[in-house]
Amino acid sequence: MTDVFQNRDRARPRHDATALAREVRTHLAAGDEDRARERFEDLVAVWQRRALRLAWHYLRDTADADEAVQDAFVRAYTNLLSYQETSPFDVWFGRILINACLDRIKARSRRQRWQVPFAEAGSEEVPLDPVAPTATPEEALVRGERAAALRAAIDALPDRQRQVVLLSQLEGHTTREVSDVTGLSESTVRVHLFRAMRRLRTLLEARRRPTREEGARHA
């Protein structure tokens, strides 16, 4: 199962983001709003793709994910003077982004109490495991099937376990960073991750078993 996660960006631009955040904060403190906004745009460029990916995995809706990301960036800029470098910028911003996603989930739940839900056809999805441009059709099919199976398995996890898996396995955060983002203790993070990975293995194995049995019947 671990190879499914191998395409995530392990070499994250953490130091660049933290350095940019420090620079934006310096300009804000000096009252140089124009320069602060200019450098913050660079910070958005560094983080936007990852932010959209993480938000989509929480919200499963492209429009909601985009709104959550934009809201998170606005909140980050507004509160950047309070940013302390005791943790990297991506941990600090990740907490803001997750809160923005949770706000939209709560708002969605409130709307659903009053609205009749309609199925949305043809919604755009952000792939968990992007297919390499050079992949053959067979490789693309296999990767797509594996990514779909993994997404379904992650969706089946309890909320806390899913959050820990996304942050640690998809985003590559350390246990301490996941603890900082979620507010859970490091030991609790490790317990959730252990249980989540065990559950994912069980779910994925259950999905593969019918395929193997079908193949054996036709052999």
What is the tens place of the pLDDT at every residue in 152-202? Answer: 888 888 888 888 888 888 777 888 888 888 888 989 989 988 888 888 888
d(C-alpha 194, C-alpha 10), whole Å: 21
For the chain, the structural domain boundaries read 8-116, 127-219
Handedness of CA 87, 107, 75, 15 (dihedral sign): positive
CATH of domain 8-116: 1.10.1740.10
Query: What's the pLDDT tens digit per position in 29-79?
Result: 999 999 999 999 999 998 899 899 889 888 888 989 999 999 999 999 999
User: What global pTM score does this model have?
Assistant: 0.60
CA separation (Å) from 95 to 40, 50, 120, 179? Answer: 18, 14, 29, 10
User: Is a pLDDT exceeding 90 seen at residue 24?
Assistant: yes
CATH level 2 (architecture), domain 127-219: Orthogonal Bundle (1.10)
Place of tokens 């709104």: 67
